[in-house]
Amino acid sequence: MPPWQIRQNKKLRASLLILEQQLTRISIFGGHQWGMADFMVACVLYTLTRLNFDFTAYPKLGPLLLASINRPEAQSARKLRKP
């Protein structure tokens, strides 16, 4: 792995760890119900799911992300992008 990729990987994992740590205090980013904060996190991290990123080191973040992108509204939105 080239040095630049190692650096970026460390930055990504540090950022994901911050999100994971936040989820140890609350169950979702929106507080008491799924909201805009959860939507924004899911939008940003969606690309990682398309790249088959391994979320096993983030046992709270991974399932929350999958639940977010599998919401009926998210599935409907993805269908709008397809030709």
**Which residue ranges of the chain lie beneath pLDDT 70?**
83
pLDDT of residue 30: 87
pLDDT of residue 1: 85
- What pLDDT score was predicted for residue 83? 67
Number of domains in the chain: 1
Inter-CA distances, 15 with 18, 32, 77, 79, 80, Å: 5, 23, 26, 29, 30
Which range of residues forms the domain containing residue 26?
3-81
Question: Are the beta carbons of 51 and 45 closer than 8 angstroms?
Answer: no
pLDDT at 72: 92
